[in-house]
Amino acid sequence: MKNVTVTMEESVADWVRMEAARRNTSVSRLIGEMLAEKMRHDDAYERAMREAMKFEPLPFTAPYARRDDIHAERIDRFR
């Protein structure tokens, strides 16, 4: 384990002390767990993004329908 010094606003320090006490752990361990979770989340997001970028769009072979054709089809349907 590595020791580090963290600088934070007083309100943040108060919150983290209360949160650590509520979870019955130390401030150091709580911050370490939060950062580890952030790291896992970011890694998972990056992996998912890389996988999503691999997908190729399906080829679209049909021509686009023209507005007039769509309206004509709907008008014919109700006659």
Nearest to 30 by CA among 38, 21, 20: 20
Residue 17 identity (one-letter amino acid): R
Nearest to 34 by CA among 49, 26, 5, 45: 26
CB 20 within 8 A of CB 29: yes
CA atoms of 55 and 49, how far apart (whole Å): 10
Give the largest Cα separation in the chain, rounded: 79
Predicted TM-score (pTM) of the model is 0.59
What angle, 0 to 180 degrees and rounded to 10, lies between the N-to-C axes of helices 27-54 and 10-22?
100
Q: pLDDT tens for residues 6-64?
A: 999 999 999 999 999 999 999 999 999 999 999 999 999 999 989 888 888 777 777 78
State residue 56's pLDDT score: 82
